Amino acid sequence: MNKSIVILISGRGSNMEALLKSRLPCRVAAVISNKADAEGLNIAQSHGIPTAVVSHRDHPDRVSFDTALAGVIDGFRPDFVILAGFMRILTEGFVNRYKGRLINIHPSLLPAYGGLDTHERALHDGVKIHGCTVHFVTPDLDHGPIIIQAAVPVLCHDTPQTLAKRVLHEEHRIYPQAIRWLCRNQIELNEDGRVILRHRKQVGHALISPSLE
For 115, residues 6+ apart whose C-beta sits below 8 A from its C-beta are: 141, 142
When binding is defined by CB under 6 A, the residue of 5, 13, 131, 183 that contacts ligand GRF is: 13
28 binds ligand GRF (CB under 6 A): no
Q: Give 21 or 198: the residue with its C-beta nearer to ligand GRF.
A: 21
CA–CA dist 14, 182 (Å, integer): 20
Query: Is 106 marked active-site?
Result: yes
Q: Are 77 and 105 in contact (CB under 8 A)?
A: no
Instruction: Return the residues of window 84-123 that contact ligand GRF according to CB under 6 A.
Output: 84-85, 105-107
**CB of 161: closest distance to ligand GRF in angstroms?**
12
**How big is the site for ligand GRF, counted in residues (CB under 6 A)?**
14
Q: Give 116 or 212: the residue with its C-beta nearer to ligand GRF.
A: 116
Burial class (CB in 10 A: 0-12, 13-18, 19+), 208: exposed
Instruction: Return the residues of window 136-175 that contact ligand GRF according to CB under 6 A.
Output: 168, 171
Give backbone dihedrals phi and psi of 205, rounded to 5 degrees, phi first.
-125, 145
Q: Which residues are catalytic?
A: 106
